[in-house]
Structure 1
Amino acid sequence: MFRRRRREQPDQAVEQEAAEPTRESGPWDADEPHPEAERIDLGGLRLPHNPDFDVRLASVGDQHVGVVVLYDESSLQLQALAAPRSSGLWDEVKTKISAQAKHLEEREGPFGSELTGEMKVEGNSRPARYLGIDGPRWFLLAVISGKAAADDTVAQAYIDFIKDVVVVRGDEPMAREEPIPLRRPNEQAGEAGEQRQGFNPFKRGPEISEIR
């Protein structure tokens, strides 16, 4: 009896410790301890609920490839990709973005290195910030454009949003840079399109649709 109690007590202590987040903020991996909060469940991403934000899915064909969040003359694009177990993708993705968009500068931001400059939208230029976060077997690309890319006060609302995102990588095998599947909140897993595209940060002009 005493030996059994001694074994149970350490296990209980470990469970209590595991329930507390080990970092101050995310983005979070679904399998790590993270704060409980009201979030929008999109399958591969769980997004914090903010009534001031207009959240929409970005789709190419039948596949939901990312999320667009609109707020205060600005937009935030989020895309979660599968990454190798041994290394992250941000250094490689930065090189690809720099080759597609000119006059970008690298600087330190809230998640490490980021790119700042301008992006072309329908022939016009808009201020833009490219942020990349490497997680366990996933990579999250965040692109802030418009007013928030030049105004740190507006940008902070987006930064706080990103810090509370939960990425659900899943255990299924996925190719490098393959988008992690997303779905509408009322869809069941597997109902979203089966066709999967490789990494291309919204270059093909996805269809944007509301999710509520």
Structure 2
Amino acid sequence: MAEQPQAAPRRESGPWDADEPHPDTDRTDLGGLRLPHNPDFDVRLASVGDLHVGVVVLNGESTMQLQAVAAPRSSGLWDEITTKIVGQVGQLREQEGPFGSELVGEMPVEGGTRSARYIGIDGPRWCLIAVMAGPAARDEAVAAPFIDIIKDTVVVRGDEPMAREEPIPLRRPNDQQDDHADDQSGLNPFRRGPEISEIR
């Protein structure tokens, strides 16, 4: 029996939900996220204990943290999360970006501050959060390839029940899907803590 042709995407760009039609491009399968491949970028998993909770993408002096969290079926989370970010980080202003409302400014780091840009996209039962730091947070030309990664990322929410803002678990590309871990400590993009491991 012949394969059915893939349905055409309903939007020009993502991030995509795994269950919606999306372009069949070269992506790295990390379980809860499928990231488009870019040879110029280093991609590393951020872990809390044994749980992989986010991805760190590095290019030059810029970084981007990506994390997908579970959201209610009835409403998005990004507006609520921005309120929490402002409460923790402070010196930020709101602006319109390619995905809607986002926050830009300075975030505290050891020994001073660093330029930061907070982007959130609400999807069906998930919210994808991206935090750019360094030159990409203030220069659109430097940010462009990071934005392209967000636009072609696929979020794999799965059908299992998850708590509000629970990180959608990730795995190394060659690992089998782990059993759902009991420890659901989240990646906090505003504090040091998660261990970063490179993907090879």
Residue of structure 2 in register with 1:56 after alignment:
44
Q: Return the index of the structure with the highest Cα Rg.
A: 1
CA deviations over 1:153-201 (Å, ceiling 9, x no partner): 0101100110000000000000000000100011111168542124633
TM-score (norm 1): 0.89
How high is the TM-score relative to the length of structure 2? 0.94
**1:158 counterpart = 2:141:** no
Structure 2 residue 145 is matched with structure 1 residue 149: no
1:192–1:16 Cα change, 3 Å: closer
Instruction: State the distance in 1 between where 2:176 and 2:186 align.
Output: 23
> Greater share of helix residues, 1 or 2?
1
1:175 to 163, 171, 184: 163
Question: Is 1:139 equivalent to 2:137 in the alignment?
Answer: no
Residue from 86, 91, 99 that aligns with 1:98: 86
5+ residue gaps, structure 1, are: 1-14
Q: State the secondary structure of the residue aligned to 1:52.
A: coil
Q: Is the 8 A contact 1:183 1:192 kept in 2?
A: no
Question: Would the aligned equivalents of 2:121 and 2:129 in 1 still touch at CA under 8 Å?
Answer: yes
- Distance in 2, matches of 1:16 and 1:95, equals 44
Identity of paired residues, percent?
Answer: 73
One-letter identity of the residue aligned with 2:51: Q
CA RMSD across the alignment = 1.8
Q: In structure 2, what residue type is equivalent to 1:39? A: R
**Offset at residue 123 of structure 1 (A):** 2.9
Give distance in 1, aligned partners of 2:182 and 2:192. 18
Cα distance in 1 between the residues matched to 2:172 and 2:182: 14
Secondary structure of the structure 2 residue equivalent to 1:159: helix
